Amino acid sequence: MNASDINPQHFEWSANHKIATVTLNRPDRKNPLTFDSYAELRDTFRQLVHVSDVKAVIFTGKGDNFCSGGDVHDIIGPLIKLDMKGLLSFTRMTGDLVKAMRECPQPIIAAIDGICAGAGACIAMASDIRYGTARSKVAFLFNRVGLAGCDMGACAVLPRIIGQGRAAELLYTGRALGGDEAESWGFYNRIFEPKDLLDAAKNTAERLANGPTFANGVTKMMLNKEWNMGIDEFIEAEAQAQAICMQTQDFKRAYDSFISKTKPIFEGNPICSSCRSFSSCSCRCQGGRDGRSGCRYFCRCLFTAMESCKICFCNFRTWYRNIIYTLFK
């Protein structure tokens, strides 16, 4: 699957030179979300798992604002009329967007200016890197509309970014966090002038897209998986993951470049030359345990002596299969 196969109708999508840009495009209303845009964003990030020509993603808003959250007229009003089953369906869908953003292997850089509130703040939170402006305002304002702060994973994710006490203050009060304070608290990685914001995001995206992208995907996956691991589990998991990365051509390229005193050119490809693309898997799983064409993470066999792709768990020794399943499920 390629980036050109993605054609959303409720936000702007572009992809060039291995970088995709998602732009919320309702600037007249500060880029609010609707039921349709929620669903389409979720589906887009789910698809990115299978998109081979995108290595980094920029998420931004058109005009002078990032996202004002759910549209008052298109979402808030209709929600009041729903029963419990309908409400739960909606809250699960919004949570699925965060899960899709965390599960796609590409790093996501949020470029945040102006208003970043409610669901918009949660989208920023779910991104891997956040760049902002001094004039921006971040608000997890659920409390101010009579709701709990536990929305779209905020009670789990936000404390890991800024700390438990600071997260509690924002989620209990719903107050806005200014750009300078957001940077000092660690919510923003850096702040820029509004005119420089998108260029800064693009520069970082280019650096990531031209780096060891396979290894970057493993890093993102482990940042997610290690939340629920004890010390023995995460040390062993990282040992296994790093050993897999050491089997890649990028690791060899870095070594060869060091010896020759040249800059390495990374291509993100694992080592096996007999299985060259996501679509060429010859394992009995026929392209991965989830039934899609191409293995979910990478199709190349890690060890040429094995007859099947280890990530697909075909004809595998049980002990190794269980470890890989834990890492890559």
Q: Would you say residue 57 has pLDDT above 60?
A: yes
Q: Exposed/middle/buried for 121, CB within 10 Å: 0-12, 13-18, 19+?
A: buried
Residue 246 pLDDT level (bands cut at 50, 70, 90): confident
Mean pLDDT of 71-94: 92
What pLDDT, on a 0 to 100 scale, did the predictor assign at position 321? Answer: 45
- In this predicted model, which residue has the larger pLDDT, 275 or 18? 18
Lowest mean pLDDT among 124-133, 142-151, 191-200: 142-151
Q: Would you say residue 179 has pLDDT above 80?
A: yes
What single letter denotes the amino acid at residue 239? A
Nearest-angstrom CA–CA distance, 288 and 291: 6
CATH 3.90.226.10 in the chain, residues?
3-209
Residue 84 pLDDT level (bands cut at 50, 70, 90): very high
- In this predicted model, which residue has the larger pLDDT, 277 or 244? 244
CB of 119 closer than 8 Å to CB of 59: no
Mean pLDDT of 229-233: 90
**Of 186-195, 213-222, 281-290, which has the strongest mean pLDDT?**
186-195
CB of 209 closer than 8 Å to CB of 55: yes
How many Cβ atoms are within 10 Å of 137's Cβ, its own excluded? 22
CATH architecture for the domain at 3-209: Alpha-Beta Complex (3.90)
Residue 323 pLDDT level (bands cut at 50, 70, 90): very low
Mean pLDDT of 190-206: 98
What pLDDT, on a 0 to 100 scale, did the predictor assign at position 269? Answer: 66
Q: Would you say residue 105 has pLDDT above 90?
A: yes
State the average pLDDT for the chain.
84
What pLDDT, on a 0 to 100 scale, did the predictor assign at position 217? Answer: 92
Q: Would you say residue 286 has pLDDT above 90?
A: no
Q: Would you say residue 58 has pLDDT above 60?
A: yes
Residue 240 pLDDT level (bands cut at 50, 70, 90): confident
Nearest-angstrom CA–CA distance, 292 and 279: 10
What pLDDT, on a 0 to 100 scale, did the predictor assign at position 327? Answer: 52
Lowest mean pLDDT among 28-42, 71-85, 128-142, 285-299: 285-299
Sign of CA dihedral 217, 222, 223, 225: positive
CB of 171 closer than 8 Å to CB of 180: no
In Å, how far are 50, 58, 116 from 136, measured between CA atoms? 34, 17, 7
CB of 301 closer than 8 Å to CB of 269: no
CB of 147 closer than 8 Å to CB of 90: no
Nearest-angstrom CA–CA distance, 97 and 7: 17
Query: In this prediction, what percent of the chain has a pLDDT beyond 90?
Result: 65
Query: In this prediction, what percent of the chain has a pLDDT beyond 70?
Result: 81
Q: Would you say residue 214 has pLDDT above 80?
A: yes
What pLDDT, on a 0 to 100 scale, did the predictor assign at position 293? Answer: 37
Nearest-angstrom CA–CA distance, 16 and 233: 39
From the list 216, 238, 107, 130, the residue with the least C-alpha distance to 177 is 130
What single letter denotes the amino acid at residue 313? F
What pLDDT, on a 0 to 100 scale, did the predictor assign at position 186? Answer: 97
- In this predicted model, which residue has the larger pLDDT, 160 or 245? 160
Q: Would you say residue 7 has pLDDT above 70?
A: yes
Residue 251 pLDDT level (bands cut at 50, 70, 90): confident
What pLDDT, on a 0 to 100 scale, did the predictor assign at position 312? Answer: 40
